[in-house]
A = this chain, B = another copy of it.
Amino acid sequence: MNSLKYYLSQVEQIFNEEQFIFEPRELYEPIDYTLRLGGKRIRPTLLLAANALFGGDEKQVRGAALGIETFHNFTLLHDDLMDRSPLRRGQPTVYTKWGDNTAILSGDTMFALAWRYFLRQPSPRLQEILQCFNETAILVCEGQQMDMNFENMTLDEVDLDAYMEMIRLKTSVLLSGALKIGALYAGATKEELFDIGEFGEHLGLAFQLQDDLLDGYGDTAVFGKKTGQDIRDNKKSILPLLALMHGSPEQQEELLTLFAAKDNLDEEEKVHRVMAIYDAIGLRTIVEEHIDIEFRTAKQYLDAIHAPEEKKAPLRELMETLMGRKK
């Protein structure tokens, strides 16, 4: 049976064999740059592993694997432009390197390229597969809009349920979609599609909540970035939202003040004061419990699938790796 390492190497091979430079070069160079920057390639790996889980033929899903990762990178490219993020994977983002217009148009083209890859392979379930991909794409856009809306709201205006829905749309549904598409090509049943989809959604929630947690409590050496950035950005992540629910009236008041502050407060002083409230509340444990619920729920859905345990192993390994429970 194939290991996680095998699927990761297959994904690398698929990308290495593909050409992304065409004419006009001004359009395709930023696309090639983006798709060759790497990243963890989680979504195509999930797609290949889910396809194998249900007994699919790997050759049939190479296009879909390329397509799902190309789509994901398109959303990152446009998100970086909208969020004005200068760096992605330690390298300059497309808009900083080539300008806004190139970022817009090369992104649009990447969305179309994703479709080209998806359309390479005929399948009796093509309509269903493409609808799954496209409805996922629409939900991702809706999630990004919700995220942008939250930026213009105060901390107490953002509802915890709305936040969970936002991260579900922005992160979970694409993991779930990748798994379901792999399963669809393999001829999975409705029940199998439901289970593998739920596995992906809860894994995505656990992963995103953990990303939120690491911003406050991550080991900079492992995490790869400075902690507290969400606090500096007034980002309404799960941390301040849960802190607001569990804090005393005084702590709530102080959090609201701190998360409304713009430039009238020293940034490090702000991080320090917010973290002090988090610690006093015991926020880390509270968030870890939320993550654990999602992680265990994901695991239950994977357990429920009738398939040889050895075929589930790569997905379990990816899950552990993603959650940092395994090196």
Instruction: Decide if A82 touches B109 in the complex (CB within 8 Å).
Output: no
Cβ contacts under 8 Å, A134 to chain B:
112, 115-116, 119
Comparing A12-20, A22-30, A232-240, the segment that makes contact with chain B is A22-30
Q: How far is the CB of A8 from chain B (nearest CB, A)?
A: 28
Q: Is A308 an interface residue (CB 8 A)?
A: no
Q: Is A127 an interface residue (CB 8 A)?
A: yes
Among the listed B24, B105, B137, B141, which residue makes an inter-chain contact with A78, where contact means beta carbons less than 8 Å apart? B105
Instruction: Decide if A144 touches B105 in the complex (CB within 8 Å).
Output: yes
User: Copies per complex?
Assistant: 2
In the complex, 21 of the A-B residue pairs with CB atoms within 8 angstroms, ordered by the A residue number, are A26-B145, A26-B148, A26-B149, A78-B105, A82-B100, A82-B101, A82-B104, A100-B100, A105-B141, A105-B145, A105-B148, A108-B108, A111-B112, A112-B134, A112-B137, A115-B115, A115-B134, A116-B134, A116-B135, A116-B138, A122-B127
For the complex of A and B, 7 pairs with smallest distance between CB atoms: A27-B145, A109-B141, A82-B101, A115-B134, A112-B137, A112-B138, A24-B145
Report the Cα distance A146→B144, complex, angstroms: 30
Q: How far is the CB of A147 from chain B (nearest CB, A)?
A: 10
Instruction: Decide if B78 touches A148 in the complex (CB within 8 Å).
Output: no
Cβ contacts under 8 Å, A141 to chain B:
27, 105, 108-109, 112
Report the Cα distance A29→B219, complex, angstroms: 43
Q: Is A142 an interface residue (CB 8 A)?
A: yes
Report the Cα distance A138→B122, complex, angstroms: 20
Among the listed B81, B130, B142, B146, which residue makes an inter-chain contact with A119, where contact means beta carbons less than 8 Å apart? B130
Cβ contacts under 8 Å, A144 to chain B:
105
